[in-house]
Amino acid sequence: MSRNFVNLNINQCKMCMPLGASLAFKGVEGSIVILHGSQGCSTYIRRHMATHYNEPIDIASSSLTENGAVFGGTKNLKSGIKNLIKVYNPKIIGIFTTCLADTIGEDIDRIVKEFIEEEHIDTNSLKLVTAHTPGYGATQTEGYYVALRKTVEQLSKKGHKNNKVNIIAANLNPGDIRNIKNYLNEVGVGYIMFPDISETLDGGYRKAYERIPPGGTKINDIVDMANSLATIEMGISIDRSLSPGQYLSDNYGVPLYVTPAPIGLRNTDSFLDTVKNICGKEIPEVIRHERGRLLDAMIDAHKYNAQVRAIVYGDPEIVYSLVLICEENGILPKIIATGSNNSKFEKLIKDKIKNFNDEIIVLNDTDFETIESYATNNDINLLIGNSDGRRLAEKLKLEIVRIGFPIHDRLGAQRVIFTGYNGSANFIDLTSNSILARKEEGFREEAFDKYYKNSTEKENNLVKISNIEHTKTHPCFNKDAHQYSRMHIPVAPACNISCNYCNRKYDCSNESRPGVTSEILKPEEALRKYIAVKQRFENLSVVGIAGPGEALANFDNVRKSVKLIKQFDPKTTFCLSTNGLMLPFYANELIDLGFSNITITINTTLPEVAAKIYRDVNYLGENFKGIKAGEVIINNQLDGLRFLSMHGIVCKVNLVLIKGINDFCVEDTVKKVKDLGAYITNIMPMIPVKGSVFENFSPVNQLELKEIRDKCGSIMKQMYHCRQCRADAIGTLDKDCSSEFACKG
């Protein structure tokens, strides 16, 4: 698993204050958001929210450029607000700063005041709410409460008592907000839910698209919050300076009751008891029956949940409530982590963990790499938190009970309920079922290892012996197999990385190097060509897939080609060359398809060196550059090599030697791949290809190449006979006959 995906703050660098502010503001009636800063933040936030809620998310940007950063962005912001008014006709606009605007010291309060005067804005019809939310200031948690506080500060006004209760919601799902509203309706209490995303971020189907979805806390209700009976705020871990309830208490005398998010038995009891005490109303029978069902569910699930040793991570408010429900159900939250730098949260959690008969690790202001370092030695068997932990879960081979924001690798996150007695029962069912699934999937393997260990070792040895046998007739893995022919089928045109030494040039019959081919074949064409080549070469021993791009970036074509040829000739030996980026995803399938030999190009194990070799790396739809790109590809290459070698696949490692770039660390790379199970390494000189970034680099000469190969030969087996073949090579290593078969089919 690539460390790039592990080494992230729990809330991520981009999961920052503007995102939290936008989340909060989307629960206000008739609202639209504009971020004062660069365009990138609004695009990222919109995309991130849309993948969680599966709703269209409109967020504008003042799109500061270099000029705006130097001379100020007043013009951009005013122009952006005018455009929003014209296009959306909103009732309220949230104006939040990003890093750039705050860094240059933009006074958005002054700019907005000027705008109102210049455009003669009727502030009774259109509200403009401002807040400073630089991404470097804190995480989405703080941004969420900053937006709520600033909205209350700028809108609330003293008036007549309204006999309602303000409910300041934590960052919960729309389903959870609806659930809490249902409870309040059952009790019969008047309330102002703020924010209310139950419809704005989970609306029903409407035939006509509406730019601003209906729903949300009414603006008049926010104004009226200063006149309520009391405020119940789900913000037990937040600093009082961020608390909208504290503002109402300090300035309007509205009593404040701070409770955790109502997740779990005690937290839900606490929330409903607070409502009861404020309003003097009894909790109805239907809710008490629901509480009874939760108690029954806790009894049913206890024996499974008692086996859970979990990592609980995410926003402080959610994590705090999760720790309490874990305690109630016998779940051990062995590692408790948040990306917020929140000393209050840390103190609250440390007070709670005294009730556990085990040492609990509390990580404040942390990242997934740190979590991983603790997880490996603490017998963790479950993750509880948002989707950002999925890379860690894959690496640890664990399931996640997904809760919190964001959840972008599952559908329907916005509708899932975790609050109240019913939602708490749902949560403990998920945790216990995860343990049950783990037992069902793993008990056979555990029993097999326990009772048939010797048989397993023999079987693995047979696999390894069988695959090594294939190297005797594989000209690339055995220098004495020169009499055998090989065939490369060029079925993989696309590539997922950009190497500075590469320029994939087709239709060049006089050039022999990786990436060159005279044609691209479809799987059916590859079969027809194989049949023709097999008739010509009786000594054809192996079919290889070596591009002209990256085999695992075209895996559908690779899979189909192999199956078609195997169906025609089951005895065919297959090998594959790869840059290794997608090996963790396809290694198992490569084994199942019957590949006996895999070649992985690993040019370095140092990310800073890789940053000079690869221009960019496209991994799972995200483009990485520089050292991060190096970290992604190197970690996946090494993980893939380790996995394949452990499962008996004979692995060759190609290393392109580039003078002045990676020549100083070749021996270290060879030592590393040997430790991970490589069978042989092939150090080959870089070919300075015209049109590539390195076209003017001088290649190593044959004496230099032999010297480094000889040095590495003392470490492990070396390949001296490589011809750096074309992607459509046919015949023996010393005689390429691909031009004779250049016609498709």
| pLDDT band (50, 70, 90) for residue 511 | very low
In a domain, 193, yes or no: no
**3-state class (DSSP) for residue 624:** strand
pLDDT of 92 above 90: yes
Residue range of the domain that includes 409? 296-441
Instruction: Band the pLDDT of 231: cuts 50, 70, 90.
Output: very high
Is the confidence at residue 581, as pLDDT, over 80?
A: yes
User: Does residue 257 lie within any of the structural domains?
Assistant: no
Q: Both 324 and 401 in a single domain?
A: yes
Q: Taking residues 370-386, report their average pLDDT.
A: 91
What value does the mean pLDDT take over residues 9-17? 56
**What residue has token string 């270290």?**
668
For tokens 């979590």, the residue is 371
pLDDT tier at 736 (50, 70, 90 boundaries)? low
**Amino acid (one-letter) located at 415:** R
Query: Which pair of tokens denotes residue 602?
Result: 């690993």
Whether 510 and 381 map to the same domain: the answer is no
- Does 477 lie in the same domain as 364? no
Judgement on whether residues 391 and 482 belong to the same structural domain of the protein: no
| Helices and strands counted in the chain (H then E) | 26, 24
If asked whether residues 542 and 646 sit together in one domain, one would say yes
pLDDT at 284 over 90: yes
The yes-or-no verdict on residue 14 having pLDDT over 90 is no
Count: domains in the chain: 2
Instruction: Please tell me the predicted confidence (pLDDT) of residue 573.
Output: 85
Assess if residue 229 is contained within a domain: no
**Cα distance between residue 340 and residue 343, in whole Å:** 9
Which residue, 411, 441, 471, sits at the end of a domain? 441
Cα-to-chain-centroid distance, residue 474 = 40
Q: For residue 456, is pLDDT > 50?
A: no
CATH code at 554? 3.20.20.70
Q: Are 155 and 129 in contact (CB under 8 A)?
A: yes
Quick: pLDDT tens for 605-653.
999 999 999 999 999 888 999 999 999 999 999 999 999 988 888 899 9
First to last CA, the chain: 40
Question: 490 and 519 in contact (C-beta within 8 Å)?
Answer: yes
Does a structural domain hold residue 561? yes
Q: At residue 484, does pLDDT exceed 80?
A: no
Q: Are residues 432 and 555 in the same domain?
A: no
Same domain for 487 and 424 = no
- Kindly state whether residues 519 and 637 are assigned to the same domain: yes
Look over the chain and give the mean of its residue pLDDT values, rounded to a whole number: 87
Which of 76, 23, 69 is CA-nearest to residue 45?
Answer: 23
Q: What is the mean pLDDT of residues 591-600?
A: 90
pLDDT band with cut points at 50, 70 and 90 for residue 666: very high
Question: Where residue 112 falls among pLDDT bands split at 50, 70, 90?
Answer: very high
Does the structure show a pLDDT above 60 at 15?
no
Given a cut of 70, is residue 195 above it in pLDDT? yes
Q: What is the pLDDT of residue 12?
A: 44
Give a yes or no: residue 140 inside a domain: no
For the beta carbon of residue 541, count every other beta carbon within 10 angstroms: 18
Distance in angstroms (rounded) separating the CA atoms of residues 384 and 327? 14
CATH number of the domain enclosing 400 = 3.40.50.1980
CA-based torsion, 688, 691, 693, 695: positive or negative: positive
User: Where does a domain end: 407, 441, 475?
Assistant: 441
Prior bond of 548 cis (ω within 30°): yes
Percent of the chain with pLDDT over 90: 62
The last residue of one of the domains, among 441, 476, 495, is 441
363 and 496 within one domain:
no
Q: Based on the domain organization, do 411 and 486 belong to the same domain? A: no
User: Do 434 and 477 reside in the same domain of the chain?
Assistant: no
Same domain, 497 and 530: yes
Asked, for residue 89, whether it belongs to a domain, the answer is: no
Would you say residue 408 lies in a domain? yes
354 domain-assigned? yes
- Of 74, 96, 58, 210, give the one whose Cα is nearest residue 82: 74
